[in-house]
Amino acid sequence: MVGVAVEVEGLTKSFGSQNIWSDVTLTLPPGEISVLLGPSGTGKSVFLKSLVGLLKPERGSIVISDTDIVRCSESRLYDVRKLFGVLFQDGALFGSMDLFDNIAFPLREHTRKTEAEVRRIVLEKMDMVGLQGAERKLPGEISGGMRKRAGLARALVLDPEIILFDEPDSGLDPVRVAYLNQLIVDLNAQIDATFLIVTHDIGTARTVPDNLGLLYRKHLAMFGPREQLLTSQEPVVQQFLNGRREGPIGMSEEKDVAQVEAEMAALQARGGDRHNGVGPKGAVGGDAVPPQLDPSPGLPERRAQRRRQERVARMLHEFDPATADAIRASLPADLLAQADAGVLTPPAGGRHWATDSTQAIGVLPGPRDGR
């Protein structure tokens, strides 16, 4: 079962007179992993809450399973929300409940399953996230990493087709973040759901997603295949992905154009960022885009990876040379040969969303039976 697409068009959100972001347009391809980056305070968590219908934007649409959740009835919104699982920053566990009861809570609240069925599902999801044998532990008795995994198990119990991760790396050391990233890739290989991760972690952004986006100055600066951002020459993208001072992002506000130009000129005069790796070809992290994480040994291949490869192979002509070269380097030989021969065509019944090259998302399958 493939996750569903999430189509966002022209979304604008404000709180009173304070605009959070405007005219956000993107599509999360079904079953793929997408990551949304942005400086602190750019409204990334607000975006997640809007996707699940907890906040109502002033303008725009969010279409999921042929339903615009911005304008649908409350009863239809309730049905669409069943497609979602959410991992909150702190896991959002009930401190007085052990892990088993925390994870079982959605099943007991939203289904009529027997306790035997509940137990089977809870233990299955705990096994998926590596929490075997921890059923009777309280949240206060375990580490932050274990609480994250318990929150993820709870997000999985209703078999969601879309999973939102709100800064899953917060409060974790780099080693635990690496383990969590691998877990996310492993889960995607097993359940083929649509994932969206909001994060500040650059390692996650470089190695986990199929698609990568950046919120900046109350707009979506860029969204597309990961290679597009990782080879981008845009100063804000290079600054954020390399974690340096030089660039448009200031400590508390954006810098003026003259200051940014002077900083970037000085940086280029020094030969680029030698520590964090804007190499001479402009690829963030060096000349080559780092490979994505593969599922752990013994798990199936990620079906989303092949779907994505077919999608971006059709789109090569839409990208700048650096992005196209990086994508070509990641394609299997058969798809590369088809792309070079110009014989790739959309699948039967497929849909194409027309977008500009900075937000291109390609060909996605049509509606599934029963939706």
DSSP labels, 168-230: TTTT--HHHHHHHHHHHHHHHHHH--EEEEE---HHHHHHS-SEEEEEETTEEEEEEEHHHHH
Burial of 190 (0-12, 13-18, 19+ CB in 10 A): middle
Per the CB < 8 A criterion, the answer to whether 351 and 364 are in contact is yes
d(CA 128, CA 190): 9
Three-class DSSP category at 157: coil
State the pLDDT at residue 164: 96
Distances (CA, A) of 290 to 37, 208, 330: 18, 10, 10
Neighbours of 345 (CB within 10 A): 10
Q: Give the up-direction half-sphere exposure of residue 278: CA atoms within 13 A in the CB hemisphere.
A: 25
Tens digit of pLDDT for each residue in 297-340?
999 999 999 999 999 999 998 999 999 999 999 999 999 999 88
Give the residue with greater pLDDT, 240 vs 62. Answer: 62
Longest CA span, the chain: 68
Where does the pLDDT of residue 220 fall: very low under 50, low under 70, confident under 90, or very high at 90 and above? very high
Question: Does the global pTM surpass 0.75?
Answer: yes
**Domain architecture of the chain: domains with CATH:** 6-215 (3.40.50.300)
SS3 84: strand
Query: Are the CB atoms for 231 and 284 separated by under 8 Å?
Result: yes
DSSP structure class, residue 74:
H
Q: Tokens 């299997």 — which residue?
A: 332
Indicate if the pLDDT at residue 237 is higher than 60.
yes
Q: Which residues contact 195 (CB under 8 A, 6 or more apart)?
A: 3, 32, 33, 34, 162, 163, 165, 184, 188
Please give the backbone phi and psi of residue 83, each rounded to the nearest 5 degrees, phi first: -75, -15
Output the average pLDDT for the chain: 84
Report which residue type is found at 350: G
Of the candidates 2, 47, 1, the one whose C-alpha atom is nearest the C-alpha of residue 214 is 47
Q: What is the pLDDT of residues 257-280, one digit of tens each?
A: 555 556 556 656 655 554 444 443
Res 363 pLDDT > 60: no
Task: Please calculate the CA angle 12-33-220 and round it to the nearest 5 degrees.
Answer: 25
C-alpha of 159 from chain center: 18
In which element (H, E) is residue 363 found? Answer: strand 363-364
Residues β-bridged to residue 168: none
To which residue do tokens 């660039």 refer? Answer: 247
What's the sign of the alpha-carbon dihedral 324, 326, 331, 336?
Answer: positive
* CA neighbor of 199 nearest in space, from 35, 51, 33: 35
| pLDDT value, residue 256 | 55
Distances (CA, A) of 335 to 209, 309, 314, 349: 20, 8, 9, 20
Distance CA 301, CA 332 (A): 14
Token pair of 5 as six digits: 């697409």
pLDDT band at 367 (very low <50, low <70, confident <90, very high): very low
Comparing 98 with 285, the larger pLDDT belongs to 98
pLDDT beyond 50 at 359: no
Q: Which amino acid is it at 330?
A: S
pLDDT (tens digit, 9 = 90+) per residue, 51-109? 999 999 999 999 999 999 999 999 999 999 999 999 987 768 899 999 999 999 999 99
